[in-house]
Amino acid sequence: MTLPLSHPALSATDPELAALVGAEEQLQADTLRLIPSENYVSQAVLEASGTVLQNKYSEGYAGRRYYEGQQNIDQIELLAVARAKSLFGVDHANVQPYSGSPANLAVYLAFAEPGDTVMGMALPMGGHLTHGWGVSATGKWFRGVQYGVRHDTGLVDFDEVRELALKERPKVIFCGGTALPRTIDFAAFAEIAREAGAVLVADVAHIAGLIAGGAHPSPVPHVDVVSTTTHKTLRGPRGAMLMSREEHAKAIDKAVFPGLQGGPHNQTTAGIAVALHEASQPSFRDYAAQVVANAKALAGELLARGFDLVSGGTDNHLILMDLTSRDVPGKVAAKALDRAGIVVNYNTVPYDTRKPFDPSGIRIGTPSLTSRGLGVEHMAAVAAWIERGVTAAGKGDEDELTAIRAEVADLMTAYPAPGLTT
């Protein structure tokens, strides 16, 4: 499929860059994107994020800015905040964090001092860098203690989490992560955080859209702070939000600005407002349910083909495949699948015996393909392509990868991507 998109001003001013954008549009249209943290935003979100709102500085918060001329910007930010509060049922929302990592840094700034103990899931177990992992500022400037998942089940061991929390007394505990295929038990974390006297943060970056759409339980009744990116299952622009109970509102706001950031990215705020509006529609509940149904169906097909999945399957949008028994390293598989038009990322699996830059697994998910309209009936074909791709990777069979790429592009042509169709 050749895309009809054009960017006349960009093409005239900078044809080199325009050509690269066009190539990326074509790539996104033709390939099967299985990276679970990616999605396709709508045309409306794209338009809102590419406006003259780019041109405005707005340090501060609505009604309390350090720059004049905020008549419209204040309303846009207030709209985004009101929509976030209503969609997630929270007292307070801050929509200014530039992305998920700075949002999490703002949480530490609000509730901890340098050198304090903080706790989160270890990166190789499925946690995020910013949950206190050593190479991150959050592990360098704080004393990060890390929990994991059980070797036998791939699930969080709450006895271990409780023991660690009571021994180490962290100021802040993060739950949630970046490679977690199972439902997060926010209530269990809340009980432990209460016992340990810690602030509990749910980082729902991956599952925010599922929560908004009713396909994953909400952390809101249980936790002090909710941190989320806006560009994954929530299907908004690249950005983030921090939400909290009223008692933490001031601390969160002060940490974001002036603590960590300068002026908010108003064009992103506008895109977030649109995404939140879209996520409050009944059709988004269908989308969230379909993401999970597709992931479960895909997991079932992969299990039937003898693949090992961490935790034995999925409850959400994400599947972590351990390729050890196929004797194909995750990176080799990911790069071969990319050549086959199937975009995944290589990933550590819990207790991985290989190095993080050359791990045993690949991480896949269904948010993007669901946005294009693929359903459970397509998951057998997707699993078959993955198996053929992994097998071809092991044998170095480039002809097979080229054949898969053509089949993938053929299917994807029939399911145009949102934002790439006008």
Ligand X SMILES: Cc1ncc(COP(=O)(O)O)c(C=O)c1O
Residue from 39, 49, 178, 218 touching ligand X (CB under 6 A): that is: 178
Closest to ligand X by CB, 37 or 294: 37
139 binds ligand X (CB under 6 A): no
Least distance (Å) between residue 345 CB and ligand X: 10
Least distance (Å) between residue 352 CB and ligand X: 18
Closest to ligand X by CB, 364 or 392: 364
Asked if 189 and 200 count as a contact pair (C-beta separation under 8 A), the reply is: yes
The one catalytic residue among 25, 38, 56, 57: 57
**What are the b/e assignments for 173-205, b being 16+ CB within 10 Å?**
bbbbbbbbbbebebeebbebbeebebbbbbbbb
280 binds ligand X (CB under 6 A): no
205 binds ligand X (CB under 6 A): yes
Residue from 206, 235, 248, 317 touching ligand X (CB under 6 A): that is: 206
101 binds ligand X (CB under 6 A): yes
Sheet (strand 361-365) strand order:
308-309, 318-322, 361-365, 345-347
Residue 238 known to be catalytic? yes
Closest to ligand X by CB, 70 or 104: 104
Residue 387 known to be catalytic? no
Residue 138 known to be catalytic? no
The one catalytic residue among 85, 169, 238, 339: 238
Closest to ligand X by CB, 11 or 99: 99
405 binds ligand X (CB under 6 A): no
100 binds ligand X (CB under 6 A): yes
Q: Which stretch binds ligand X (CB under 6 A): 96-104, 144-152, 366-374, 396-404?
A: 96-104
Asked if 107 and 136 count as a contact pair (C-beta separation under 8 A), the reply is: no
144 binds ligand X (CB under 6 A): no
Residue from 33, 83, 92, 128 touching ligand X (CB under 6 A): that is: 128
Q: What character string, x for contact with ligand X (CB under 6 A) and - otherwise, covers 102-121?
A: --x-----------------
Q: Which stretch binds ligand X (CB under 6 A): 93-101, 144-152, 315-323, 347-355?
A: 93-101
229 binds ligand X (CB under 6 A): yes
Residue 167 known to be catalytic? no
Q: Which stretch binds ligand X (CB under 6 A): 39-47, 64-72, 94-102, 296-304?
A: 94-102
Q: Which stretch binds ligand X (CB under 6 A): 43-51, 200-208, 372-380, 389-397?
A: 200-208
Residue 59 known to be catalytic? yes
Radius of gyration of the chain (CA): 22
Q: What character string, x for contact with ligand X (CB under 6 A) and - otherwise, covers 347-376?
A: ------------------------------
The one catalytic residue among 30, 77, 203, 301: 203
39 vs 371: CA distance, rounded Å: 7
Closest to ligand X by CB, 356 or 396: 356
Q: Which residues pair with 118 in a beta bridge?
A: 144, 172
Closest to ligand X by CB, 98 or 307: 98
176 binds ligand X (CB under 6 A): yes
Q: What is the 3-state secondary structure (H, E, C) of the chain?
A: CCCCCCCHHHHHHCHHHHHHHHHHHHHHHHCEECCCCCCCCCHHHHHHHCCHHHHCCCCEECCEECCCCCHHHHHHHHHHHHHHHHHHCCCEEECCCCCHHHHHHHHHHHHCCCCCEEEEECHHHCCCHHHCCCCCHHHHCCEEEEECECCCCCCECHHHHHHHHHHHCCCEEEECCCCCCCCCCHHHHHHHHHHHCCEEEEECCCCHHHHHCCCCCCCCCCCCEEEEECCCCCCCCCCEEEEECHHHHHHHHHHHHHHHCCCCCHHHHHHHHHHHHHHCCHHHHHHHHHHHHHHHHHHHHHHHCCCEEHHHCCCCCEEEEECHHHCCCHHHHHHHHHHCCEECEEECCCCCCCCCCCCCEEEEECHHHHHCCCCHHHHHHHHHHHHHHHHHHHHCCHHHHHHHHHHHHHHHHCCCCCCCCC
Q: Which stretch binds ligand X (CB under 6 A): 50-58, 85-93, 173-181, 344-352?
A: 173-181
Q: Which spans of this chain sit near ligand X (rule: CB under 6 A)?
A: 37, 99-101, 104, 128, 130, 176-178, 203, 205-206, 229
Q: Which residues are catalytic?
A: 57, 59, 203, 229, 232, 238
